[in-house]
Amino acid sequence: MRVEAVEGDITREHVDVVVNAANSSLLGGGGVDGAIHAAAGPGLLAACRELRRTTLPGGLPVGDAVATPAFDLPARWVVHTVGPNRHAGETDPALLASCFERSLEVAAGLGATSVAFPAVGAGVYGWDADEVARVAVGAVRAWPDATGTGTTTGAAAGRRRPACVELVRFVLFSPRVHDAFARALGA
């Protein structure tokens, strides 16, 4: 799997999956979440409302992930994940790692070969960009190769996962966050 970091706008990525740093309500918010909802159009909010009405009435748990169509985005799907909020005392790096692991599992389950991630947790949820980069890159690199025989770690421990993802691109909103990911990638 190729792993890279670029500075840019995740809503313009031509990949199979764009990962949304969502809140548990799935109904939009600020930062990456707000940008993805705005760019995807009203269909995304409708799909998220349907998830809340049916399978996720209590919202999406921290560290988990769920997919919707991408609607007006150039991607095929949006995989929503909820990062841990440091300001609320959610400081376990395993929860943060689970966001990346579960997003890859959901993407692979869709048959996706390319995934664009933001720096989940590095915005309003208060995680340091260097720590997010270290955890994110570690979680992605620990993901199994094309054999798909590995098992997850952290909150997703024990689950088998397919591995068809060939490209993971971290799309980062600022030079400071991009530099943190470049360091974590050894670039």
Q: Where are the domains of the chain?
A: 2-185
Task: Find, among 59, 56, 55, the residue nearest to 23 by Cα.
Answer: 59
Number of other residues whose CB lies within 10 A of the CB of residue 116: 23
What pairs with residue 77 in β-bridges? 17, 69
Show which residues are catalytic. 33
Distance CA 59, CA 152 (A): 23
Backbone angles phi, psi at 186, to 5 degrees: 80, 20
- Evaluate whether 180 touches 15 at the Cβ level (below 8 Å): no
CATH number of the structural domain 2-185: 3.40.220.10
Q: In a 3-state reduction of DSSP, which class is residue 1?
A: coil
What pLDDT, on a 0 to 100 scale, did the predictor assign at position 163?
A: 57
Average pLDDT, consecutive stretches of 10 residues, N- to C-terminus, the chain (187 residues):
97 98 95 96 98 97 98 98 96 97 97 97 94 98 60 47 83 97 93
Q: How far apart are CA 155 and CA 1, in angstroms?
A: 23
Amino acid at 137: V
Instruction: Look at residue 144 in the predicted model and tell me its pLDDT.
Output: 72
CA distance 15 to 78: 10
pLDDT for 162 equals 53
User: Taking the mean position of all CA atoms in its chain, how far away is CA 15?
Assistant: 13
Cα–Cα distance, 67 to 81 (Å, whole number)? 9
pLDDT computed for residue 147 by the predictor: 32
